[in-house]
Structure 1
Amino acid sequence: MPPDLRPARRDDLEGLPAEVAPRLLGGHLTTTVAGDTVTVRLTEVEAYHGRGTGEIPDPGSHARMGPTARNATMWGEPGHLYVYLSHGIHSCVNVVCGPAGVAGGILLRGGEVIEGADAAARRRPAARTPRDLARGPGRLGDAVGLRHPLHDGIDAVTGDPWHGAVARLRLLAEPLTGVATGPRVGVAGVAGTAAYPWRFWLEGEPTVSAFRWGRGAGPLV
Structure 2
Amino acid sequence: MEFSWSWFWPELFGSLNETLYMIFVAFLISLLIGIPLGITLVITRDQGILANKTVFNLLNIVVNVLRSIPFIILIVAIIPLTRLIVGTSIGTTAAIVPLVFYTAPYIGRLVENSLLEVDQGTIELAESMGATPWQIIWKFLLPEALSSLILSLTIAIIGLIGATAMAGAVGGGGIGDLAISYGYNQFQTEVMVVTVIILVIMVQLIQSIGNYLSKKIRRS
Between structures 1 and 2, the one with greater strand share: 1
